[in-house]
C-alpha cells in the first residue's frame, strides 16, 4: 500500500475533519484560508485515494449502551472469515485482525445485557473455529481514534472556530425509525440531505431536524476514519497492559498524551488498560515501547500484537479489493 504525502493544506483539512467531520466546505475553507471549491477538491482527492472518510456513529455512552472490547483467538484458517463476520454486525466496530491472523480485537456496543449475551454466549460459540474469547467492559476513555494527536496541526484559534457545541441534556436512545438514517451515515458521514432523504424516505427538512436532535443530545457523533498506514505509520499495534490500580488513571492519561496513541481505555479484566499505537516501523515501535511505555507508572505486564488487517473502523466494513484475474 503506497504512502500518501500530505501538504500543509491536506494536513489542515485532516485535522479540521477530526474536530467536526460534518463541518461545511464553506466553513472548512474559511478556517483553512482557501476557497470552498479548493477544500472540496482536496477532500474528494483524499477520500477517493482511500486515505480517509467521515462516518456517523451512535455514541454508546450517551445512548445508554455498554461498550466492550473483545479479544478472540481462532484456528489459523478461520481468522479472516470470523473477522469479516464480526464486521458485518451493526453493533460491532473497530475490527482488527492481529498477529499471525489467528487473533482478532473488536469493540461491541450492547444496548442491554441481552445484546451482549446474544453475541458472547450464543453467536460466537457456534463458530467452532473460535478457540478463546475474552470480553472487557470499557470503564473510562483516555483517547479515541478521532482525536489522534499525531494528526494535529491547526492553531488553537482555528480549532475553536471548528469545535462543535457540546451535547445538551441527557442521552437520547435512537428510535427504530432512525436505522436507515444511521446506516446511511455509517457509509458516508458527509452525505447530503437529499441523499439521506432518499435513503430514509423522509423529507430533507425532517432529515436535517432529526440529525440536529441526535447530535445535540450527543447520540450521533461524526468520526474521521483515517488509514494510518497510508500516512506512513505502517506499524499499527494493539497493546494490553496490566497496571496497578493506584496508577491506572495516571498511566492512562500519560499514554493518551503520546502522539503515537490513537486509542486508550481502562477496562475490566487482568489487563486493565488497552491501547492502539501507530509507529513508522518496527524499530520505531521498539524504541517507543522500551522508552516511553516502559516509563509509565505501575505497569506490571505488557502484551502487544501488530495489526495485520483492519477489517472495520467506525463505519461500514473495509472490504479487501477483489483479486485481479
Does 74 reside within a domain? Answer: no
Q: For position 157, which CATH number holds?
A: 1.10.10
Domain that holds residue 199: 8-60+148-226
> Do the domain assignments include residue 192?
yes
277 occurs within a structural domain: no
Determine the Cα–Cα distance for residues 216 and 221; give it in Å rounded to an integer: 10
What per-residue confidence (pLDDT) applies to 323? 39
117, part of any domain: no
| Residue 160, domain member (yes or no) | yes
Strands annotated E in the chain:
52-58, 66-74, 92-98, 103-110, 130-143, 220-226, 235-243, 261-267, 273-279, 299-312
Largest CA distance in the chain: 57
Report the domain count for the chain: 1
Taking each helix axis as running N to C, give the angle between helix 36-48 and helix 8-19, from 0 to 180 degrees, rounded to the nearest 10.
90
Q: Which residue has the higher pLDDT, 118 or 11?
A: 11
Give me the pLDDT at residue 322, please. Answer: 41
* Mean pLDDT value of segment 149-163: 93
Among 108-117, 135-144, 294-303, name the one with the lowest average pLDDT: 108-117
Query: Is the Cα torsion angle 292, 227, 148, 312 positive or negative in sign?
Result: negative
Burial of 30 (0-12, 13-18, 19+ CB in 10 A): middle
Task: Count Cβ atoms below 10 Å from residue 286 Cβ, excluding itself.
Answer: 12
pLDDT of residue 325: 36
The share of the chain scoring above pLDDT 70, in percent, equals 89
pLDDT of residue 124: 66
The pLDDT value given to residue 5: 80
Q: Establish if 171 belongs to a structural domain.
A: yes
Which residue, 233, 237, 229, is CA-closest to 304? 237
Question: DSSP assignment of 122-152, as one string?
Answer: IIGGG-TTEEEEEEEEEEEEEE-GGG-GGG-
Cβ atoms of 294 and 241 closer than 8 Å: no
Going by pLDDT thresholds of 50, 70 and 90, the confidence category of residue 129 is confident
Q: Determine the pLDDT at residue 14.
A: 94
Q: How far is CA 192 from CA 84, 182, 189, 196, in A?
A: 29, 13, 9, 6
Residue 324 has pLDDT above 90, yes or no: no
CB atoms inside a 10 Å sphere around CB 139: 12
Whether residue 24 is contained in a domain is answered as: yes
Residue 304 lies in a domain: no
Residue 173 pLDDT level (bands cut at 50, 70, 90) = confident
User: What global pTM score does this model have?
Assistant: 0.83
- For 248-267, what is each residue's pLDDT tens digit? 999 999 999 999 999 999 99
Amino acid at each position: 500500500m503506497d504512502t500518501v504525502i500530505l501538504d500543509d493544506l491536506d494536513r489542515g483539512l485532516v485535522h479540521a475533519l477530526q474536530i467536526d467531520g460534518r463541518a461545511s466546505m464553506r466553513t472548512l475553507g474559511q478556517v483553512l484560508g482557501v476557497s470552498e471549491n479548493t477544500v472540496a477538491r482536496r477532500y474528494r482527492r483524499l477520500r477517493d485515494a482511500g486515505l480517509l472518510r467521515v462516518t456517523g456513529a451512535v455514541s454508546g455512552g450517551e445512548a445508554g449502551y455498554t461498550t466492550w472490547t473483545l479479544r478472540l483467538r481462532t484456528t489459523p484458517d478461520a481468522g479472516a472469515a470470523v473477522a469479516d463476520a464480526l464486521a458485518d454486525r451493526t453493533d460491532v466496530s473497530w475490527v482488527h485482525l492481529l498477529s499471525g491472523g489467528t487473533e482478532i480485537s473488536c469493540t461491541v456496543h450492547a444496548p442491554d445485557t441481552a445484546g451482549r449475551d446474544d453475541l458472547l454466549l450464543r453467536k460466537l460459540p457456534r463458530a467452532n473455529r473460535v478457540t478463546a474469547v475474552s470480553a472487557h467492559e470499557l470503564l473510562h476513555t483516555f483517547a479515541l481514534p478521532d482525536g489522534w494527536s499525531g494528526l494535529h496541526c491547526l492553531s488553537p484559534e482555528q480549532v475553536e472556530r471548528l469545535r462543535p457545541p457540546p451535547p445538551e441534556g441527557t442521552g437520547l436512545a435512537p428510535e427504530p425509525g432512525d436505522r436507515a438514517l444511521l446506516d446511511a451515515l455509517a457509509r458516508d458521514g458527509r452525505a447530503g440531505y437529499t441523499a439521506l432523504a432518499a435513503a430514509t424516505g423522509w423529507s430533507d427538512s425532517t432529515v436535517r431536524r432529526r440529525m440536529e436532535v441526535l447530535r445535540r443530545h450527543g447520540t450521533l457523533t461524526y468520526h474521521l476514519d483515517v488509514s494510518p498506514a497510508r500516512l506512513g505509520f505502517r506499524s499499527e499495534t494493539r497493546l494490553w497492559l496490566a497496571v496497578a490500580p493506584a496508577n491506572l488513571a495516571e498511566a492512562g492519561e500519560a499514554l493518551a498524551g503520546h502522539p503515537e496513541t490513537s486509542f486508550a481505555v481502562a477496562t475490566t479484566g487482568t489487563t486493565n488498560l488497552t491501547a492502539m499505537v501507530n509507529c513508522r516501523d518496527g524499530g520505531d515501535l521498539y524504541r517507543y515501547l522500551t522508552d516511553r511505555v516502559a516509563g509509565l507508572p505501575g505497569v506490571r505486564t505488557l502484551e502487544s500484537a501488530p495489526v495485520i488487517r483492519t477489517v472495520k473502523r467506525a463505519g461500514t466494513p473495509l472490504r479487501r479489493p477483489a483479486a485481479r484475474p
